[in-house]
Chains A and B, each alone.
Chain A
Amino acid sequence: GNSVTQMEGPVTLSEEAFLTINCTYTATGYPSLFWYVQYPGEGLQLLLKATKADDKGSNKGFEATYRKETTSFHLEKGSVQVSDSAVYFCAVPFSGTYKYIFGTGTRLKVLA
């Protein structure tokens, strides 16, 4: 079945630093891939998604490219801000279902 492996955190960066959070998956076929963000004390918000191979999802300066050759969907941002401090989750649907498999989550802390 499908699975997700996400980079362990926490990640601490200075403001304006470059961010990469790794996510790799195993899947049957080419499912949609998602990144969600969770700010302290809140639920999850969709950050970006990609629905097919080679798609690039982007939002709020974050990007992730659906790479089928490396089965990866790494999250990147060129210049992080303090307000980006949150937990980031990579997600892929279970094979043949609408349920998600979430990665373990990566906590990002950005220092001013």
Chain B
Amino acid sequence: GAVVSQHPSWVICKSGTSVKIECRSLDFQATTMFWYRQFPKQSLMLMATSNEGSKATYEQGVEKDKFLINHASLTLSTLTVTSAHPEDSSFYICSARDEERGGVYEQYFGPGTRLTVT
């Protein structure tokens, strides 16, 4: 139970194009989802908190116009990297909170999406 999927698992795109990454909670409803970025051999950096039906809350230093987050339903959040550049290449991980299943603070993580911008 408490499965979170991400699609695609990896993507290569050309500089200047946009890429959309999907995060889905498969067997629970997620009122809150989180998007993280992870650089090689480093910890996770929280980018934004996504709440269903409202605007995402971005962490300091994260460009909201570059990383567009939409949480259109209780099971789907999307991250769109707009006008991607090579420095956006990274491993993007989402997580979802299921208050009923795991308790208020527990998060369930997706498998990650590796983005490479050429």
Closest CB-CB distance, A83 to chain B, in whole Å? 18
Q: Among B43, B105, B108, which residue has its beta carbon within 8 angstroms of that of A93?
A: B105
Interface size class of B (residues with CB under 8 A): 20 to 34
CB-defined contacts of B44 to chain A, threshold 8 Å = 44, 89, 102
Q: Assuming A100-B46, A104-B43, A105-B42, is B111 touching A43 (CB within 8 A)? A: yes
Chain A residues within an 8 Å CB radius of B43: 89, 102-105
- In the complex, A12 has a CB within 8 A of chain B: no
Kindly list chain B residues whose C-beta atoms are within 8 Å of the C-beta of A104.
Answer: 42-43
Identify which of residues 28-82 in chain A touch chain B, using a CB-to-CB cut-off of 8 Å.
31-32, 34, 36, 41-46, 49, 51
> Quick one: CB contact mask for A90-112 with B, threshold 8 Å, 1 for yes?
00010000111011110100000
List, in ascending order, chain B residues with CB within 8 A of A98's CB.
32, 49, 97, 104-105, 107
B103 touches A51 (CB 8 A): yes
B79 adjacent to chain A (CB < 8 Å): no
Tell me whether B46 and A42 are in contact (CB under 8 A): no
Set of chain B residues within 8 Å of A100, measured between Cβ atoms: 34, 46, 107
Show 5 residue pairs from A and B whose CB-CB distance is below 8 angstroms, ordered by the A residue: A46-B106, A98-B32, A98-B49, A103-B43, A104-B43
> Which residues of B are in contact with A by a Cβ distance under 8 Å?
4, 6, 32, 34, 41-44, 46, 49, 93, 95, 97, 103-112, 114
Task: Show the binding face of A for B, using Cβ within 8 Å.
Answer: 31-32, 34, 36, 41-46, 49, 51, 89, 93, 98-100, 102-105, 107
